[in-house]
Structure 1
Amino acid sequence: MKTLVIVSHPTPQQSVAIKALQQVAEAQDKVTVRHLDQLYGTDSNAIDIAAEQQAHEAADRIIYLYPTHWFNTTPMLKAYLNQVWTYGWAFGPEGKALHGKELQIVTTAGATEFTYSPAGLIEATMDEVLSPMKASALYVGMKYRAPLAFYSAMGLDEASLDAMRSRFAANLQAPLGSQRAD
């Protein structure tokens, strides 16, 4: 099984949690990591669409790894999806490149898990916040794998970072079709 991890962080130099998770992915066999902001900066016009589509085609599982940014993907990841998931490639007539592949969102949030609950400040769970990503995956025929969310990600101590790393490593090693290793 080959896994593609697409990483996006609007301020990668300030990243602690996403950077730690990226390093876990880079240490795994059969995992390819592409960090959008390192490859393309903030210029969405620089995205090499053919290279990104080839990377997706070579994978069985695709993970988008990013901090939840105002209850959404990062701006670069949104631009990336708009450009890479094209009509005729990802969907529409002949567009079956992603069909049958797994998609999983792995995200960090600065807020607590309670904030992302019906009783919390935003009155929505992380699953609900991520519903556009789920809808997109299902629309193009992908299998949507339960997301993996890490809360209170700002200012983590080393023990919390280690727990996060271990959980993500187990997730990456889980077989296709499993919901995830927790």
Structure 2
Amino acid sequence: MKTLVIVSHPGFEQSAVTRTIKQVAESLPDTEVRHLEERYGDDAARFDVTAEQAAHDAVERIVIVFPIHWFNLTPMLKAYMNRVWTYGWAFGPGGTALRGKRMQVVVSAGAAEATYSHQGLIRSTMDEVLTPLKASALYIGMRWEPPLAFYGVMNADAARLAGIGQAFAQRMADCLEPA
């Protein structure tokens, strides 16, 4: 299955988890990785919208990798979706570019999994935190896959990073059956 992996992290160099996932993604067959901050810095005005839209054309699955950033997307990822997933291309009259493609979200959170529960500090699950992204995917006709979340990742040691890389690779392999 041809896959596009979009990576965003405002502090990428400090994130062993996101770097690990990106490295694993780069090793997977039929996978293109586009790291937003690496390509465009923190300037959304620099997005090459035509190139970014073209990167979506030949794939069947779009994987978005990011850390939960104030219980939301990273700023560059939100700007990317606003500028690239446009009316008339992704949705609206004639906008079917993403229809039928699979959406896989892979997130990391510094907080423990218990924080993301109805009994936890934010009284919301990770699925609830990701509701706007899920709604966007479903609205434009994408197939929403269950998210893959890694919790309590601050200061992850080598063994934990290896486990995260393996879990990500396994999820990518598990999603190979036809829709």
TM-score category, normalised to shorter length: over 0.9
Q: Partner of 1:21 in structure 2?
A: 21
**Deviation at residue 143 of structure 1 after TM alignment:** 0.3
d(CA) in 2 for partners of 1:50, 1:74: 22
**Deviation at residue 49 of structure 1 after TM alignment:** 0.4
**Deviation at residue 176 of structure 1 after TM alignment:** 4.0
Q: Partner of 2:137 in structure 1?
A: 137
How many residues are treated as equivalent by the alignment? 179
How far does the alpha carbon of each residue in 1:71-102 deviate from its partner, in whole angstroms, 9 at most, with x for none?
00000000000000101000000000000000
Cα gap change, 1:115/1:178 in structure 2, threshold over 3 Å: closer, same or farther? farther
Q: Partner of 1:46 in structure 2?
A: 46
Question: TM-score w.r.t. structure 1 length?
Answer: 0.96
**Deviation at residue 11 of structure 1 after TM alignment:** 1.1
**Deviation at residue 14 of structure 1 after TM alignment:** 1.1
Runs of at least 5 residues in structure 1 that lack an aligned partner in the other structure: none
**Deviation at residue 56 of structure 1 after TM alignment:** 1.0
Return 157-166 or 136-145, whichever deviates more: 157-166
CA RMSD, 1 decimal: 1.2
Q: Partner of 2:3 in structure 1?
A: 3
Q: Which one-letter code corresponds to 1:133 in the other structure?
A: L
Q: Partner of 2:37 in structure 1?
A: 37
Question: TM-score w.r.t. structure 2 length?
Answer: 0.97
Q: Partner of 2:64 in structure 1?
A: 64
d(CA) in 2 for partners of 1:117, 1:177: 31
For the Cα contact (< 8 Å) 1:8–1:77, is it kept in 2?
yes
Q: Alignment partner of 1:82: what SS?
A: helix
Runs of at least 5 residues in structure 2 that lack an aligned partner in the other structure: none
d(CA) in 2 for partners of 1:57, 1:68: 27
d(CA) in 1 for partners of 2:132, 2:178: 22
Q: Partner of 2:75 in structure 1?
A: 75
Q: Alignment partner of 2:34: what SS?
A: strand
**Deviation at residue 13 of structure 1 after TM alignment:** 1.6
Q: Which one-letter code corresponds to 2:35 in the other structure?
A: H
**Deviation at residue 174 of structure 1 after TM alignment:** 1.9
Q: Alignment partner of 1:124: what SS?
A: coil
For the Cα contact (< 8 Å) 1:102–1:176, is it kept in 2?
no
**Deviation at residue 57 of structure 1 after TM alignment:** 1.2
For the Cα contact (< 8 Å) 1:61–1:176, is it kept in 2?
no
Q: Partner of 2:89 in structure 1?
A: 89
Cα gap change, 1:38/1:22 in structure 2, threshold over 3 Å: closer, same or farther? same
d(CA) in 1 for partners of 2:161, 2:145: 23
d(CA) in 2 for partners of 1:73, 1:96: 23
Q: Alignment partner of 2:124: what SS?
A: coil
d(CA) in 1 for partners of 2:57, 2:116: 33
Q: Partner of 1:104 in structure 2?
A: 104
Cα gap change, 1:14/1:178 in structure 2, threshold over 3 Å: closer, same or farther? farther
Q: Alignment partner of 2:23: what SS?
A: helix
d(CA) in 1 for partners of 2:166, 2:178: 17
